[in-house]
Amino acid sequence: MIPVTSARSLSEAYAILHQRPRGLRVLAGGTDLMVAVNARVGLDRIGHVLDIWRVPELRGISLEGATLRIGALTTYSELMRSRLMAEQLPALAAVSREVGAWAIQNRGTIGGNVCNASPAGDTLPLLLACEARFVLGGPRGERTVAADEFFLGYRKTALGADELLVRIDVPLIDGARLSYRKVGTRKAQSISRTIVAVRKGPGMLRIAAGCVAPVPLRCRNAEAAALSSGDVRAAIAKDIAPIDDVRATAVYRSRVTANVLLRLLQE
């Protein structure tokens, strides 16, 4: 039987992290970890589960000056219902609506999406395009890591062994607009074939994509080309490295990622 600690506060969670139990896994909404538990995949490598579902400090969306602060445990449903999201960053609420369906949206969290670090994570290109900052906390204190320095490799993040993702800070920019397109395998309950996010503002352009590399990533060549009226299609081909898998071929991903980007840039 795998021991579980259901923390009721951040300090209780940090106390467990401080002990650094072998094979520690963090359980939020369960939409990732419980799939593995159900499938009995890697069960012998799970030594201890830290259940953070009821840690109140990890919830809540607030506005602090020009920064939108999103608690790591914010569910997709909460993002969809939040008046602040609707006002400040509607695209993030919109992509939440394209994750799974109601039952998944009620349990899946944006923090889980970030820490799971799947290259297909639907919120990740949007957070990268917004140059979000991830606030990591633990017994040694808090630190902030920029989104595009967080994803180190395939499902590998900068999160330390004794750290939790506490909050996502999104810098708001006057006059900037975030848009995206998710191309999924069907119209609900789908994993993306490709996903592109664009943030356009005065003299500023940020482009990020998912499902086209081992990590979700910023597309800096494409950004430079778009800002200088260059060949965006050729440029993004240099940013991404898609593969063939059961959802799509590399050729498809290359072509369609560029198509989708060009369309988003037009809007």
Partner 1 sequence: MERIELEHQGMVGRSPPRKDGADKVTGRARYLDDLTFERQLYGRTVRSHVAHGRIKSIVWDPDFDWSDVTRATAADIPGENVVHLIEDDQPLLAHEMVRHREEPIALLACADREKLEEALLHVRVEIEELEPVLDPLQSTHVFKSYRIEQEPAGLAEAFARHRVVEGTYRVGHQEQMYIEPQAVCALPRPDGGITVYGSMQCPFYVHRALQRLFRLEDDRVAVIQVVTGGGFGGKEDYPSMIAGHAALLARKSGRPVKMVYRREEDVAATTKRHPAVMHYRSAVADDGTLLALQADIVMDGGAYVTLSPVVASRGVLHAAGAYRWKHARIDCRVVRTHTPPNGAFRGFGVPQTMFAIESHMERIASELQIDPLELRRKNVLRVGDVLPTGQKLESSVSAREVLDAVAAKSDYARKRSASVGAGSKRRGIGIALAFHGAGFTGSGEVKLKPRAGVELTERGARVLSVSTDIGQGTITVFAQMAADALGVALDDVEVADPDTSLVPDSGPTVASRTVMVVGGTVTRAAQSMARILAAYVAEVFSVAEVECRGGIFSAGGKSLAPFAAVARRYLQERGPLSVIENYRHPPEIAWDDASYRGDAYPCYGWAATAVEVEVDLDTYEVSLLGVTTATDVGRAIHPVLAAGQVEGGTVQALGYALLEEHFWDRSGKLLNTRMQNYVIPTALDVPRMQTVLLENPYPHGPYGAKGLGELPMDGPAPAVVAAVLHATGALVSELPLSPDRVMRAVAP
Partner 2 sequence: MKLLVNGEERNVDAPPLRRLLDVLREDLGLTGVKEGCGEGECGACSVLIDGELVNSCLVAVCQAEGSQVLTVEGLNLTPLQRAFLDHGAAQCGICTPGMVMAAHRFLLSGAPATDENVREAIAGNLCRCTGYAKIVEAIQSAAAGAQR
- For partner 2, the binding residues (CB under 8 A) are 1-2, 4, 6, 27, 29-31, 34-35, 37-39, 49, 51, 53-54, 77, 100-104, 106-107, 187-189
Using the minimum distance from each CB to partner 2, give the nearer residue, 6 or 88.
Answer: 6
Place of tokens 């899946």: 108
Q: Judged by CB under 8 A, does residue 256 bind partner 1?
A: yes
3-class DSSP assignment, residue 180: strand
Q: Of 123, 247, 118, 248, give the one whose Cα is nearest residue 195.
A: 123
Beta-carbon contacts of residue 207 (< 8 Å; ≥ 6 apart)? 129, 196, 197, 198, 218, 219, 222, 223, 226, 236, 261
Distance CA 68, CA 21 (A): 33
Q: Which two tokens stand for residue 216?
A: 């979700």
Phi first, then psi, for residue 120 (nearest 5°) are: -100, 5
**Angle, to 10 degrees, between the axis of helix 220-227 and the axis of helix 232-239?**
160
Using the minimum distance from each CB to partner 1, give the nearer residue, 39 or 161.
Answer: 39
Q: How far is the CB of 106 from partner 2 (least distance, A)?
A: 5
Distance CA 119, CA 122 (A): 9
Tell me the residue type at 222. A
Using the minimum distance from each CB to partner 2, give the nearer residue, 24 or 104.
Answer: 104
**C-alpha 12 chain-centroid distance:** 25
Using the minimum distance from each CB to partner 1, give the nearer residue, 205 or 264.
Answer: 264
Q: How far is the CB of 35 from partner 2 (least distance, A)?
A: 5
Distance CA 200, CA 178 (A): 7
Phi first, then psi, for residue 254 (nearest 5°) are: -60, -50
Per CB under 8 A, which region of 25-33, 109-117, 146-154, 257-265 contacts partner 1? Answer: 257-265
Using the minimum distance from each CB to partner 1, give the nearer residue, 32 or 239.
Answer: 32
Using the minimum distance from each CB to partner 2, give the nearer residue, 107 or 200.
Answer: 107
Per CB under 8 A, which region of 165-173, 205-213, 235-243, 247-255 contacts partner 1? Answer: 247-255
Q: How far is the CB of 139 from partner 1 (least distance, A)?
A: 34
- Identify residues 142-201 at the interface with partner 1 (CB under 8 A): 183, 185-191, 193
Q: How far is the CB of 244 from partner 1 (least distance, A)?
A: 10
Q: Which does 183 bind (CB under 5 to 8 A by kind): partner 1, partner 2, none?
A: partner 1
| Burial letters 207-227, b for 16+ CB under 10 A, else e | bbbbbbbebbbbbbbbbebbe
Which x/- pattern over 101-140 shows residues binding partner 1 (rule: CB under 8 A)? Answer: x---------------------------------------
Q: Contact, 184 vs 193, CB < 8 A?
A: yes
Binding residues for partner 1, per CB under 8 A?
39-40, 101, 183, 185-191, 193, 246-249, 251-252, 255-256, 259-260, 263
